[in-house]
Amino acid sequence: MHQCRALLDRGSMSNFATNDLCKKLNLNLQRAHYAVTSVGKAMSNIKFTTKLKLSSSDNSFSQSIECLVLSQITTNLPVVSFNRKILVIPKNLALADPYFNKSAPIDLLLGSSTFWELLCTAKVQIGDSKIFLHETKLG
């Protein structure tokens, strides 16, 4: 088991994991040959795929997923760390990433098929802002 940071992306057709995460988890890599196009028509050549078991931190949810392997998914997110006290988050909510406000690498990108499996119906608006917290099976 390894705690990691995941980005949920309902627009992505695939799940992605970083090389670093695969090494930390000692995952088996399968040779592959895919070309993936992203925003701005940037092209990435995928040489490996892997399978991993995705679990919530309280183990109430788990699912096996297949991922394409990349050296880096995106830059650190958020781009700049910020004081989380600027957002009034209800104390009774269990966040999937309690350190969401700290700039750090993204280990996994969970694409549309996984995204819709994880998404629940509840959402909470933060004050009068356009920021919503969505309930997922990960927190």
Q: What angle do CA 70, 74, 78 make, to 5 degrees?
A: 145
- Quote the CA–CA distance of 121 and 38 in Å, as a whole number: 29
How far is the first Cα of the chain from the last one, in angstroms, to the nearest whole number? 17
Is 55 in contact with 136 (CB distance < 8 Å)?
no
Note the pLDDT tens digit of each residue in 56-97: 988 899 999 999 999 999 999 999 999 999 998 988 888 889
Does the bond joining 90 to the residue before it have cis omega, within 30 degrees of 0? no
Assigned CATH for 6-136: 2.40.70.10
Q: Which percentage of the chain shows pLDDT scores above 90?
A: 76
